[in-house]
Amino acid sequence: MTSETKVSPIYADEHLSCDILVVGAGVVGLWIARLAARAGHRVIILEKRSAGTGASGGVLGALMPHMPERWNPKKQFQFEALGSLAAEVANLEAETGQNCDYRRCGRLMPLVQPHHRELAQQRMVAAAQVWDSNFQWNLLDAPCKANWPAVHTMPHGLVHETLAARISPRKYMAALKASLATQALLLEGEGFNRFDDAVQKVVTTSGRNISAGHTILAAGHETFDILSDMLARPAADFGTPVKGQAALLQAEISDDVPLVFHDGVYAVPHEGGTVAIGSTSETSFDDSVATDAKLDNLIERARVLCPVLETAAVLERWAGLRPKAIKRDPMIGAVPDRPDITVATGGFKITFGIAHKMAACALELASVGHCGTLPESFRLETHLR
Ligand SMILES: Cc1cc2nc3c(=O)[nH]c(=O)nc-3n(C[C@H](O)[C@H](O)[C@H](O)COP(=O)(O)OP(=O)(O)OC[C@H]3O[C@@H](n4cnc5c(N)ncnc54)[C@H](O)[C@@H]3O)c2cc1C
């Protein structure tokens, strides 16, 4: 069923037209819409399901920086995004009155081998050089809170870095959607179908035509299928979906402790004594939304890592598909020979921390045709090379 979140009088008549048409209402698409509306553009968002029910509708919400060594433009981009997100979320919360459960909680990482400690010391030096002085990479001998994580996991101490943060994906998505209520037209249950170049319109899955000055494809992993149709190449030339499973547990823990990351397991405390556990990474799967023994195994490993979780009840099991572009980095740029269509996807495992900056770059490309702050490795042409 199609639903329309109405909006401003500019959309009052039945003929749909806009300056910017955003395809996909995940965290990237909603940020593009938010920034475009803020810049005074008339915006329509097409979402074939409901806003925030793709990969952005999960439970984890870890905002983790890249390692500080071998610094490069991609790491700088993410660093700046993680730095600016706190203020962006504060504005969003003030504007909407909705809480996003954002906290700069930091991250703990146990050190298992002697060489892990040596590497951590090198990273401490690197972080002091490339991170600004607001954030530190510290070495500790024991956690500040007993059993978070378990002492046996850290024979050589642990790292405590203060840049990582967390956010509730669902609360964040709800606030982003609310911020657009009077700023844009969100069409849910109505997807992008195709471009009709003869009449220069976008045709939706329900057969409506939309005249758009510019279209931005932010359909997560399904962007690769849209590109495949447009450019007559296999979707895998552009990227693939990578399945992830995660869980939400009810624990006896305050939400002001750092998140824990060890050997591929995340334990991310959220408000209300909940702790999110993530994530599997699956390139082959039969059912994209089913959870299975791989998640059971992850939960068991999290209980060993953080004994506070030993008896924690499982509130929810969840799975989704991350967009992984062909060269692994985010994919942003104008579609070849189509300066009126921009792509913004491929945030893969770090999208929540960078979506607002991905959106700003996509809009700059759409408006002026170039974006000086976009790392070379993120550019669509780099992915297609
Ligand atoms: C288990 C798991 C844990 C994760 N944990 C983290 C984490 O801790 N931190 C982090 O930063 N990232 C994490 N991620 C990754 C993150 O969730 C994704 O990278 C991010 O949500 C992608 O956002 P998106 O807006 O690009 O795509 P999506 O959120 O998938 O949004 C795309 C939207 O486009 C819509 N759409 C598709 N096709 C069409 C069409 N033809 N017309 C209209 N609409 C269409 C879809 O319905 C969807 O709503 C995790 C992912 C998973 C699966």
Q: How far is the CA of 118 from the centre of ligand 1 (A)?
A: 36
- Interval 217-256: pLDDT, tens: 999 999 999 999 999 999 999 999 999 999 999 998 999 9
Please check whether residue 280 lies inside any domain of the structure: no
Beta bridge pairs of residue 211? 17
Beta bridge pairs of residue 196? 201
Alpha carbons within 13 angstroms on the beta-carbon side of residue 10 total: 14
Q: How far is the CA of 56 from the centre of ligand 1 (A)?
A: 4
Tell me how far CA of residue 358 lies from CA of 29, 78, 110, 297, 301, in angstroms.
10, 10, 32, 34, 33
Please check whether residue 296 lies inside any domain of the structure: no
| Bond prior to 169 in cis (omega within 30° of 0) | no
- Please give the pLDDT value at position 14: 56
- Please give the pLDDT value at position 8: 46
Please check whether residue 256 lies inside any domain of the structure: no
Q: Which domain holds residue 35?
A: 3-57+171-239+327-384
Tell me how far CA of residue 321 lies from CA of 127, 155, 238, 248, in angstroms.
32, 36, 15, 17
- Interval 151-189: pLDDT, tens: 999 999 999 999 999 999 999 999 999 999 999 999 999
Cα–Cα distance, 32 to 29 (Å, whole number) = 5
Best substitution site from 30, 50, 240, 349 to test ligand 1's pocket, by max atoms within 8 Å of Cβ?
A: 349
**Looking at the predicted structure, is the pLDDT value of residue 326 above 80?**
yes
- Interval 89-147: pLDDT, tens: 999 999 999 999 999 999 999 999 999 999 999 999 999 999 998 999 999 999 889 89
**Looking at the predicted structure, is the pLDDT value of residue 2 above 70?**
no
- Interval 267-292: pLDDT, tens: 999 999 999 999 999 999 999 999 99
DSSP state of 103: B
- Please give the pLDDT value at position 68: 97
Which ligand 1 atom sits nearest the alpha carbon of residue 28?
25
Tell me the two tokens of residue 190. 């109505």
Nearest CA to ligand 1 atom 37: 219
Cα–Cα distance, 193 to 203 (Å, whole number) = 6
Question: Is 238 within 8 Å of 277 (Cβ atoms)?
Answer: no
Please check whether residue 183 lies inside any domain of the structure: yes
List phi, psi (to 5°) of 231: -105, 5
Q: How many domains is the chain built from?
A: 1
Please check whether residue 275 lies inside any domain of the structure: no
**Looking at the predicted structure, is the pLDDT value of residue 382 above 80?**
yes
Residue 1: band (very low, low, confident or very high) from pLDDT cuts 50, 70, 90: very low
Helix spans in the chain (H)? 27-38, 73-96, 114-130, 169-179, 223-231, 293-305, 351-368, 380-384
Best substitution site from 82, 322, 341 to test ligand 1's pocket, by max atoms within 8 Å of Cβ?
A: 322
Tell me the two tokens of residue 249. 């547990």
Sheet holding 313-325, edge to edge: 137-140, 158-161, 107-110, 259-262, 265-270, 274-278, 239-250, 313-325
Alpha carbon 173 to chain centroid, angstroms:
11
Report pTM: 0.96
pLDDT above 70 as % of the chain: 96
- Please give the pLDDT value at position 252: 87
The pocket around ligand 1, CB under 6 angstroms, is made up of 23-29, 46-49, 53-56, 58, 60-62, 191-192, 218-220, 222, 244-246, 278-279, 320, 322-323, 345, 347-353
- Average pLDDT for 29-46: 98
Nearest CA to ligand 1 atom 31: 26
**Looking at the predicted structure, is the pLDDT value of residue 73 above 90?**
yes
CATH number, position 37: 3.50.50.60
| Bond prior to 56 in cis (omega within 30° of 0) | no
Residue 7: band (very low, low, confident or very high) from pLDDT cuts 50, 70, 90: very low
List phi, psi (to 5°) of 274: -95, 150
Nearest CA to ligand 1 atom 35: 24
* Four-point Cα dihedral 61, 168, 94, 85, nearest 10: 0
Q: Of 105, 156, 162, nearest to 138 (Cα)?
A: 162
- Average pLDDT for 56-77: 97
Q: How far is the CA of 204 from the centre of ligand 1 (A)?
A: 21
* Four-point Cα dihedral 123, 124, 127, 132, nearest 10: 170
